[in-house]
Structure 1
């Protein structure tokens, strides 16, 4: 059941990417873009957690946001960041421990 719901939600994201996104132009401040992040989160984590991660990302993406590299936790984009030295130096690892000195820059 949840696979089917994830598929429907990914289809809606894809519909947005094909119809609305080209009209708006590139506006996302993050890599991967919010729509790609949401689709990946839905594929990796399913409709509940993936939908929650996607919604949180969309709310973080606004004109005042710093943006940057923000991969899906546990997804292919995170593995890519960890394997590529150029990406890794710009990637802020999102660890659950928010008491680290680097946590304020996230």
Structure 2
């Protein structure tokens, strides 16, 4: 059941990466992008903790300072 949740969550993020407007996708100031970061976090920590870490990253995303922010 958790493997399906993980796969579905990552699939939803891939759909976002493919179909979200370029203006929204290019606003991320960090490397890797926020959506890629969330996929990495989900793969490393699991769905619940990974999504939580991804949301924390999204909250920091539009701040003035950017840069590298790897897991």
Q: TM-score by structure 1 length?
A: 0.61
Query: How far does the alpha carbon of each residue in 1:45-99 deviate from its partner, in whole angstroms, 9 at most, with x for none?
Result: 110110111010011111x331110012xxxxxxxxxxxxxxxxxxxxxxxxxxx
Equivalent pairs, count: 71
Structure number with the higher helix fraction is 2
Larger radius of gyration: 1
Any residues of structure 2 matched to 1:1-106 within 5 Å, and which? 1-22=1-22, 24-62=24-62, 64-72=63-71
Residue segments in structure 2 that go unaligned for 5+ positions in a row: none
3-state SS of paired residue (2:26) = coil
> C-alpha separation between the residues in 1 aligned to 2:20 and 2:9?
16
CA-atom RMSD in angstroms: 1.4
Residues 67/49 of structure 1: CA separation in 2 closer, same or farther (3 Å cut): same
Higher relative contact order (CA 8 A, sep 6+): 2
Q: TM-score by structure 2 length?
A: 0.89
